[in-house]
Amino acid sequence: MKRVELHVTQGLSASGKSTWAKGWVAEERRDTRVRMNRDDLRKMIRGHWTGNSNDEDLISAMIDCGVRTALQSGLDVVIDNTHLDTRDLKWWLDVAEDEGARTVIHVWTTRTAECAARNRIRAGGVPHDVILRQARKLARNKIGIECLRSCFDEVVFHE
């Protein structure tokens, strides 16, 4: 039996993570792949991002439970969020270990200016300052993030 896989995306908003993840799920015709996304869950429970910590805790529990259940059911999972914090990466590495999943991190290296330009033309984009804050956070966490990337079974870079 094939070992299940947990794919984690990492990159700024509007870098192409969700577009890729939706395509990755769609290309598998045997229905063995699922996608989990915090923004989609936010829209599902409230219709929009609220910033409410109780909502974020609920979303964290929902995505954790969904990912674990999918892996236990023999499905490959992609989580297409920004994952700019070492805490997030460590969490998913621990989940994968608990569930016996192979890990793949997909890293988007799309330039900040390109993400900002894409964001301006997409429906429901984030405020411009969010992308700038994300870029600063990624730079601040660079060493820790690069260390954790080496813990994944595979690292794939995207532009």
pLDDT digits (tens, 9 = 90+) for 75-85: 999 999 999 98
For the beta carbon of residue 34, count every other beta carbon within 10 angstroms: 18
pLDDT-derived band at 50, boundaries 50, 70, 90 = confident
Tell me 150's DSSP state.
T
Is residue 1's pLDDT more than 80?
no
Structural domain spans, the chain? 5-158
Please name the amino acid found at residue 115: C
Q: What percent of the chain has pLDDT over 90?
A: 82
List the alpha helices (DSSP H) in 28-159: 38-46, 53-72, 86-99, 112-121, 128-140, 142-149
Q: Cα(16)–Cα(63) distance, rounded to whole angstroms?
A: 20
Q: What percent of the chain has pLDDT over 70?
A: 99
Beta-carbon contacts of residue 98 (< 8 Å; ≥ 6 apart): 68
> Which superfamily does CATH assign the domain made up of 5-158 to?
P-loop containing nucleotide triphosphate hydrolases (3.40.50.300)
Q: How is 32-63 classified by DSSP, letter by letter?
A: -EEEE-HHHHHHHHHSS----HHHHHHHHHHH
Q: pTM for the complete prediction?
A: 0.94
pLDDT digits (tens, 9 = 90+) for 81-129: 999 989 999 999 999 999 999 999 999 999 999 999 999 999 888 999 9
